[in-house]
């Protein structure tokens, strides 16, 4: 297998190559003056299974999706036998159903576009809703980075911390973290108005008094969910509040608003490279690629 370094995940791809020993193929990329993307593989892929590592987080998630598709096409034209897309953050994964009349299912459209470009298989990390993947036109799998995030806090001396999910539907995240942290786990309740996007959070039967609490979520976007959760935890007498997410999009001033809300540290992964990406997905993705080379 060879690992192709998508422009959005160059460091992660190189890290995966270093861990697996698979050759790394760089990609030259540029944006034309009119905004269109260009990519070129700088290595031979003939008769190889290749893994293209390319996250599709903001900014320019559409451009990153196009880069991914163009790389897949280049790989197939170059004679690659099998093209696996390793897409830690899959853009549009939250539009996975028609919530309101007249909407489409964006993530399924994206999957069909990727299939048409030459992708044979997809690996992502903590997709918002796993059943989505069953609708994709190729085998698709999601891995969980939650144990790695929980381990980060264990290594910092927070074994026994309370694992909190900000939403009942994401309780599986708190449970995965709990297995590593060894403390209690629980969730808040969150309801979203589908027209305004506004959410209301409540806590029922939660006891976090004097506890160190780690709020864990798949995505932090505007930060509103974490800010609301932190406020509730402070009201309930939590001693320390941290937060961890797989995909730290941190749109606008989200990071500042979360810290201002009393969260002591925000921890994310290199799914979204940036200030808070303190945990690498490379070991998780390397293990998966090694198992299927």
Please, what's the b/e burial string for 11-49 (b: 16 or more CB within 10 A of its CB; e: otherwise)? ebbbbbbebbebebbebebeeeeeeebebebeeebeebb
Question: Is residue 221 within the footprint of ligand R5P (CB under 6 A)?
Answer: yes
Residue pair 52/118 in contact (Cβ under 8 Å)? The answer is: no
Measured between alpha carbons, how far is 221 from 250 in angstroms, rounded to an integer? Answer: 5
In the complex, minimum distance from the CB of residue 166 to ligand R5P, in angstroms, rounded to a whole number? 6
In the complex, minimum distance from the CB of residue 224 to ligand R5P, in angstroms, rounded to a whole number? 4
Question: Is residue 224 within the footprint of ligand R5P (CB under 6 A)?
Answer: yes
Q: Give the residue, chosen from 45, 180, 216, 219, that forms a contact with ligand R5P under the rule CB under 6 A.
A: 219
Enumerate residues 158-187 that contact ligand R5P by CB under 6 A.
166-167, 170
- Segment lying near ligand R5P (by CB under 6 A), choices 156-164, 175-183, 213-221, 259-267: 213-221
Residue in this structure with the two tokens 């002591």, named with its chain if needed: 264
Question: Is residue 269 within the footprint of ligand R5P (CB under 6 A)?
Answer: no
170 phi-psi bin (left φ>0, alpha ψ -120 to 50, beta other): alpha
Residue in this structure with the two tokens 């509040």, named with its chain if needed: 241
Which CB sits closer to ligand R5P, 35 or 131? Answer: 131
Question: Is residue 96 within the footprint of ligand R5P (CB under 6 A)?
Answer: no
- Segment lying near ligand R5P (by CB under 6 A), choices 50-58, 69-77, 211-219, 265-273: 211-219
Rg of the Cα atoms in the chain: 20
In the complex, minimum distance from the CB of residue 26 to ligand R5P, in angstroms, rounded to a whole number? 33
Q: Give the residue, chosen from 7, 88, 223, 273, that forms a contact with ligand R5P under the rule CB under 6 A.
A: 223
Please, what's the b/e burial string for 225-258 (b: 16 or more CB within 10 A of its CB; e: otherwise)? bbbbbbebbeeeebebbbbbbbbbbbeeebbebb
Terminal C-alpha separation, the chain: 6
**Distance from chain centroid for Cα 9:** 12
- Segment lying near ligand R5P (by CB under 6 A), choices 38-46, 152-160, 223-231, 269-277: 223-231
Question: Is residue 222 within the footprint of ligand R5P (CB under 6 A)?
Answer: yes
DSSP state of 8: G
In the complex, minimum distance from the CB of residue 198 to ligand R5P, in angstroms, rounded to a whole number? 10
CA 156, 165, 283, 14: dihedral to nearest 10 degrees? -100
In the complex, minimum distance from the CB of residue 221 to ligand R5P, in angstroms, rounded to a whole number? 3
In the complex, minimum distance from the CB of residue 293 to ligand R5P, in angstroms, rounded to a whole number? 32
Q: Is 190 a catalytic residue?
A: yes
Measured between alpha carbons, how far is 183 from 212 in angstroms, rounded to an integer? Answer: 10
- Segment lying near ligand R5P (by CB under 6 A), choices 10-18, 63-71, 111-119, 214-222: 214-222
Question: Is residue 218 within the footprint of ligand R5P (CB under 6 A)?
Answer: yes
The single residue of 115, 190, 256, 278 carrying the catalytic annotation is 190
Token pair of 41, please? 């593989």
Binding site for ligand R5P (CB under 6 A): 166-167, 170, 217-225
Q: Which residues are catalytic?
A: 190
């Amino acid at each position: 297998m060879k690992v192709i370094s998508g422009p959005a995940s160059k460091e992660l791809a190189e890290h995966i190559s270093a861990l697996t020993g698979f050759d790394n193929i760089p990609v030259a990329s540029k944006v034309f003056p009119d905004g269109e993307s260009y990519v070129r593989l700088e290595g031979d892929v003939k008769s190889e299974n290749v893994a293209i590592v390319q996250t599709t987080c903001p900014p320019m998630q559409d451009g990153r999706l196009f880069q991914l598709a163009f790389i897949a096409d280049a790989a197939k034209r170059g004679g690659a036998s099998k093209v696996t897309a390793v897409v830690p953050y899959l853009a549009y994964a939250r539009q996975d159903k028609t919530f309101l009349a007249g909407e489409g299912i964006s993530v399924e459209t994206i999957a069909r576009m990727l299939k048409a470009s030459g992708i044979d298989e997809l690996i992502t990390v903590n997709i918002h809703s796993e059943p989505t993947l069953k609708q994709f036109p190729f085998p698709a799998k999601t891995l969980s980075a939650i144990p790695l995030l929980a381990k980060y806090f264990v290594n910092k001396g927070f074994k026994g911390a309370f694992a909190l999910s900000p939403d009942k539907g994401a309780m599986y995240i708190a449970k995965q973290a709990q297995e590593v942290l060894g403390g209690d786990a629980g969730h808040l309740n969150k309801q979203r108005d589908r027209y305004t996007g506004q959410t209301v959070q409540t806590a029922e039967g939660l006891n976090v008094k004097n506890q160190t609490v780690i709020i864990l979520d798949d995505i932090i976007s505007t930060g509103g969910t974490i800010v609301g959760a932190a406020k509730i935890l402070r009201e309930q007498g939590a001693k320390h509040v941290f937060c961890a997410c797989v995909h730290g999009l941190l749109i606008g001033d989200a990071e500042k608003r979360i810290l201002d809300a009393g969260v002591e540290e925000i921890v994310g992964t290199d799914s979204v490279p940036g200030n808070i990406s303190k945990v690498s997905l490379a070991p998780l993705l390397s293990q998966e690629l090694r198992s299927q080379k």
